[in-house]
Structures are given as structure tokens and as C-alpha cells.
Amino acid sequence: MFDKLQALEDRYEELSQKVSDPEVIADQNEWKKLVKAHADMEDVVHIFREYKKAQEEFEEAQQMLKETLDDDFRELVEIEIEELKEKLEEMNGELKILLLPKDPNDEKNVIVEIRAGTGGDEAGLFAGDLFKMYSRYAEKRGWRLEMLDAHFTDLGGFKEVIFLIEGKGAFSRLKFESGVHRVQRVPDTEGSGRIHTSAATVAVLPEAEEVEVDINPNDIRVDVFCASGHGGQSVNTTQSAVRITHLPSGLVVSCQDEKSQIKNKDKAMKVLRARLLEKYQQEQHGEVASVRKTMVGSGDRSERIRTYNFPQGRVTDHRIGLTLHKLEWILEGNIDEIIDALVTTDQAEKLKKVD
């Protein structure tokens, strides 16, 4: 591990010089690649340097312990040695995690798709609750949310809602949210007080750049139609809504959120690129899908991942057996505790495979 870390530090120093070289700066594409590579190494190199410094202090303290005869001073040195030992163990763990292969999508923006599942109107209302939860989470992290498409139910919930979240590391934080979210509660329309179980599916897709997914204009069919609102009523007499069909894959995307046909087409293309990227990546990794699965789950949309139980005020993530009695707090967008636990579990599983 330390040979790899030393090689990384050497490469970091080399890049530090290159990104300041006027000849390299003149080639902006190459310079941007080098700057990104340099930034990606910064955290691990910083901790490695701290580790080496602590290691030197540890060795010096051990040598000092051998040479001193003063009991009081020996006691101080022994305390310092124990503290340095703990520090080195902690940094060793951090370095192992930082050396794990990175998900190339982690720094990307995300496109989130929420769809009402089983449960009728109650499922639509729950889809709305999930949308609010992710909206508030994005707001707390200073991310920007942009609606791409929405289809409402008569009671004000969502049959389907698709939105873009732009922010550093958005995919790394939200990628484990894909799957079936289940809610257990007494609906407002239920007179007998009987608890209903409903569900909504969440799909979190990394936003795809145009260069990653090249879509041939001849491979798509674009249809335009009038947008509709709550309950399906017409809200626009002009044909501003757009439906794009990708003929080779059969994928269909529609968008009616904007009054402008051009803007709706642009948003629909964003969703189409994200879905195609996901499709291509699944096909590429299909043969090793079993290897890629961890305790956290595969991100399969059909996998039940979490239950929100209102009578007990609890949220349970079934993949890691985590239960929190903070339901209202979590629905207000305070989901970092769950996400941190999922990320930690995922890292632990990957470390087992490395070890």
C-alpha cells in the first residue's frame, strides 16, 4: 500500500509542476484534465504526508523512551507514543478507504425519478413526500434542483416526478437511494383507522454528458403535444410538451414542465442521455453483476430498500438493518445519518474484498 502511496505523491508533485507550465496551460483541454487529476489526488496525498510525519514522530518518541531515565519524562513520552499510535491507525484506515477504486460517476449531478407504485392515491402522496425529502436535502447541501417532468394525481401527489440535482458529489451521496421505498400509515381517507402499505420507486441516475452518450438524430422520434396538469386537464393550448422515442432501445421520455417546446426538448434529452448511460453501463457490467453487489444493494429499482412507518415514527433501511425513530425529521430532508451509514457499509464491503 505504501509503495502505491509514494508513487501517488510523486505523481502529485509532477502534476503540480505541469499545471503551472505555460505550455501546458496553452492547451486548455489537456490542462483541465491535469488539474482534475491533481485535485483528485490532493486528499490522499495530504493524509499520506501527515501519516509520514506522525510516523517519524512515533519513531523519535520510541528512541527517546529508550534513552531517558527520568520516570516523569518517561511517562509523558509513553502517553505521546499511545496518542501517535492511535493517530497512525486512524490515518491508515483513511488511506485504505481513499485508495479504493472510485466510482467514475460519484462527482456527477443526478437525475432522480420517483414513481408511485402499489397503493393508489396513497402511493402518489408518498411519492410527493419523497420528492419533498430530497428537495429539502438538496437545499440543505446548497445544491440546485431543477424540475424536468411531473405527472400529478387528483389528490396532489405524483404519478411520476423527474428532477435534476446539480451539486458536487451529488451522485456519491444519493446513489444508494435507488429502489422501492415503502410507507405504512393510516391514509386521511381511511375512516376505520386501518394502516395501509403503499410504495414508490426511486431511480437515481448520473447525469450523462453529450460526449459520453452520442445520440444519432436519426435514431430519435420527437412528438409534440399539449401539456396537461392535475387530473389530466389541459393547461396549455399550444403544443409545448415533448415526447422523445429512442428507436434502437425503445426508451421513451416526455417533458412538459416548461412553456417552451425547445426547453422541454432539452430537458427530455438530458433524461434520455442519463437512461441510456445507465442502460449501457448495466450491459457492460452485466457479466460481473454478482461481484458488484454489496450489502448495500445493487441499486435495482425492484429491490425494497426502506420502510417509513408512521404509527411507530420509524424509518428502517433493510439493506443494513438500520432503524431510526426520527421519521418526521428524516422526511424534512435530514437523511445524512442514513446515507453516511450506507457509505460506510459500502466501503467496509469493498475493503473486505481488497484485504
For 37-46, the CB contacts below 8 A with 24+ separation are: 38/12, 40/102, 41/8, 41/11, 41/12, 41/15, 42/12, 43/98, 44/5, 44/8, 44/95, 44/98, 44/99, 45/8, 45/9, 45/12
- At 293, the pLDDT band (50, 70, 90 cuts) reads very low
- Confidence (pLDDT) at 5: 86
pLDDT above 60 for 297? no
pLDDT above 80 for 189? no
pLDDT above 70 for 298? no
Q: CB neighbours of 112 closer than 8 A, spacing ≥ 6?
A: 134, 162, 163, 164, 165, 174, 177, 202, 203, 204, 205
Fold that domain 104-207+293-355 belongs to in CATH: Alpha-Beta Plaits (3.30.70)
- At 231, the pLDDT band (50, 70, 90 cuts) reads very low
- Confidence (pLDDT) at 292: 39
- Confidence (pLDDT) at 207: 86
- CA–CA–CA angle 284, 5, 27 (5° rounding): 65
CATH class of the structural domain 211-285: alpha beta
Percent of residues, the chain, with pLDDT higher than 90? 38
Highest mean pLDDT among 97-106, 107-116, 203-212: 107-116
Instruction: Tell me the C-alpha distance between 174 and 205, whole Å.
Output: 9
Domains 104-207+293-355 and 211-285 share a fold: no
Q: What is the pLDDT averaged over residues 132-160?
A: 92
pLDDT above 70 for 123? yes
pLDDT above 80 for 335? yes
pLDDT above 90 for 225? no
Residue that wins the pLDDT comparison between 206 and 190: 206
**What is the residue extent of each domain of the chain?**
2-98, 104-207+293-355, 211-285
pLDDT above 60 for 165? yes
